Structure 1
Amino acid sequence: MPQSYSQFKAFGAITKAAFRSIAKSPSSVVFTIAFPLIFILVFGFLGGGGAKAVKVTLAPGADTANALYAALQHIDLVKIQPQAPGKTLEQRLSKGEVNAVLDIRKTGGTPAYRIGIRTMTADADKAAQLAAVLERVALSQDADAARRISELIAVEKTTIQSRKFNTIDFILPGQLGFSLLASSVFGTAFVFFNLRQSLVLKRFFATPVRREFIILAEGCARMIFQLLGAALIILVGRFFLGFTLVHEVVTVINMLLICALGLLVFMSFGFIISGIARSEATIPPLSNLITLPQFLLAGTFFSIDAFPAWMQPVSRALPLTYLNDALRQVAFDGASLWDVKMDIGILLLWGVIGYFAASRVFKWE
């Protein structure tokens, strides 16, 4: 009696063949590993050296209607940052968005000003730098420069225990996210377009293998390859560049689970492009329409809070923004998957939209 055809054996064989094809592709290796590591190394080493301005935000209720604050706005060594709705001061301090929280109070007596400086332990030197600047400004406001500084201002420093937020803690998740996006979109689009054009898909139809197993096998092969590349990038960052992984192995597992979700979502964009592309030459420009805006606007290199106010809603609509944000929260803050449920939910919503569109335009022949 002949054995029944095994869809799972066919699935395994196609997955194995697809994985070998991806691993042998120079473009896959470049997009998945080489480019992210190069950007991580370049931008990871740009953060050090030189005297830098202290990024300061004001505490709620701080007095800004005084000569001391007015003079402080013209000091190059101090950059006063606007408030960030939706974020606590501790969150902004811990992420390095600001170095200190400044509270200025005019007393009307002696000392003339009481000033509070709240900072993280990692930015203790910035607090000292800010205090020195305030003393110089206060002396410049008084005609009798010989007066004791204690009669002008009283500075109180509050230090919050924290981990140091390094440049690599921001750059690595952004580069990892973009690697997943670029590889998924370009790789999926080219693979299925070429399979259709070379009539490989048509030949598959002559076999008993079901269509969904063909797609699942190709997707599974890309998923395995991309997650191996992601794990390599995370480990290189951890052991060679000081990337923060709060809960070590648990953090790595959570990051890879988020990466897997991101891959599923981003592959839907590749399916859409493979369905609407008229020739292989049209795939790169169509893919760039999806990847390039996210590369620039989704917080890959800089926090989207640094963008103009009119641009931030655009950034917050992009799926890569939420992948990057979830990866950073899990890695540096030690957040669980439940803690980043909003980011995951928005990624899932994009996945539903993407696969619905892909089902309308994807072609088998």
Structure 2
Amino acid sequence: MSKPYNHTKATLALAKASFRSIMRSPSAVVFTLAFPLIFILVFGFLGGGGIKVDVAVSPGSDLENPVINALEHHSVVHLLIDKDPQEIKRGLEKGTIDAVITVQKNKAGIPAYLANVQYTSASIDKGSIFKSVMSSLLYTLNTQNTEPAIAKLQESTIQGRIYRTIDFILPGQLGFSLLSTGVFGTAFVFFGLRQNLVIKRFFATPVRRSSIVFGEGLARIGFALLGAVFIILVGHFFFHFTLIHGIVTVLNMLLLSVIGLIVFMGFGFVVSGIAKSESTIPPISNIITLPQFLLSGTFFSIDAFPSWLQPISRALPLTYLNDAMRKVAFEGAGLWDVKQQILIMVIWGIGIYAVAVKVFKWE
């Protein structure tokens, strides 16, 4: 009596073969490892990133005064108003808030206002930028008015965790790596398998269609996780990328990577289904990946974008993956703490796979 066909072994065999194929693909290595690594090296050595200085306004401050009004119109400063005191404290300690300013009317009358600014050692570079901004702003205000002085500045610094440029850049590059792997890799592979009649030959065997999909998916996930570990370790050991809880943080980031990659593979299935030829895959894939690469907070904080553009940025799945990665890595959040970001990615996944089922072609 013959043994029943083992679909698990078939799936694993397909995954192994696909993984070998990916490892031999120059484009897969470039998009998954080399391309993100280049950006990490550039920003790691040179710094930068175009991030605005986030300044919280202390509750109870007088908001109708020249200092606050001038800061609201400053191109570098991003004011955070109506923040809870405990939230401000946590933000200063973690470096997600660069400074807090309190502006009150001076009971003595002259100067008219007293501005108290607290900086954080967690964000030294941006604190220095804000010091320069405040010095220039107060000089301008005080010299343009008839009073001897309209405002006086008092400064202090609290201790906090250092927030480096790499802490912002690396999660974005990791997210982009997963996006590229999921969309381009999946689209090219399944289109090629269909065009070369490989899938048709599979149908002559007992292999299930689900085994083909799961096998390819496992291979992509395995390769992407290797790439993610490599990127995280390079960032941590060479550029001091923050991993608050060590190996636990790494594992959480890898789980987020799996969720993100599964969602992005859905886009790849859609592209492979609607593409008429191999030459049409890159432009269609770029329509999906390029807006997310530019608008999902990969290089710049979404808060730095124009107000009309921010809702578009916050609608993209890569935005939520990047946000969850940063919260887990730097703030020490657990997966339950980023459940909102995960839920939105899952909703995106359900929607895109519903489309994929409609457009995907096996032959």
TM-score, L = length of structure 2: 0.87
Q: How many residues align?
A: 355
Deviations 1:84-143 (A, max 9, x none): 678944465466565322212221416634332122123466376577657756864788
Counterpart for residue 334 of structure 1 = 332
Counterpart for residue 154 of structure 2 = 155
Amino acid corresponding to residue 81 of structure 1 in structure 2 = H
CA gap of 1:207–1:161, structure 2 versus 1, over 3 A, is same
SS in 2 for 1:81: strand
Query: For the Cα contact (< 8 Å) 1:131–1:155, is it kept in 2?
Result: no
C-alpha separation between the residues in 2 aligned to 1:304 and 1:95? 19
CA gap of 1:95–1:27, structure 2 versus 1, over 3 A, is farther
Correspondence 1:158-197 to 2 at 5 A: 159-197=157-195
C-alpha separation between the residues in 2 aligned to 1:119 and 1:338? 30
C-alpha separation between the residues in 2 aligned to 1:54 and 1:360? 46
Query: For the Cα contact (< 8 Å) 1:180–1:262, is it kept in 2?
Result: yes
Deviations 1:5-57 (A, max 9, x none): 21122112111111000000000000110000001111233327xxx997645
Counterpart for residue 106 of structure 2 = 107
Q: Is the aligned partner of 1:242 residue 2:245?
A: no
Amino acid corresponding to residue 339 of structure 2 in structure 1 = K
Counterpart for residue 20 of structure 1 = 20
Correspondence 1:259-298 to 2 at 5 A: 259-298=257-296
1:155 deviates by 2.0
Amino acid corresponding to residue 114 of structure 2 in structure 1 = R
Correspondence 1:1-365 to 2 at 5 A: 1-47=1-47, 56-63=55-62, 65-66=64-65, 79-83=76-80, 88-90=87-89, 93=92, 99-109=98-108, 112=111, 113-123=113-123, 126=128, 136=139, 140=143, 153=152, 155=154, 157=156, 159-365=157-363
SS in 2 for 1:101: strand
Structure possessing the higher radius of gyration over alpha carbons: 1
CA gap of 1:152–1:345, structure 2 versus 1, over 3 A, is closer
C-alpha separation between the residues in 2 aligned to 1:144 and 1:310? 39
Aligned-residue RMSD, C-alpha: 3.0
C-alpha separation between the residues in 2 aligned to 1:85 and 1:136? 27
C-alpha separation between the residues in 1 aligned to 2:255 and 2:318? 15
C-alpha separation between the residues in 1 aligned to 2:82 and 2:153? 30
CA gap of 1:164–1:8, structure 2 versus 1, over 3 A, is same
**Percent identity over paired residues:** 56
C-alpha separation between the residues in 2 aligned to 1:212 and 1:53? 47
SS in 2 for 1:39: helix
Amino acid corresponding to residue 165 of structure 2 in structure 1 = T
TM-score, L = length of structure 1: 0.87
**Structure 1 gaps, min length 5:** none
C-alpha separation between the residues in 2 aligned to 1:207 and 1:275? 23
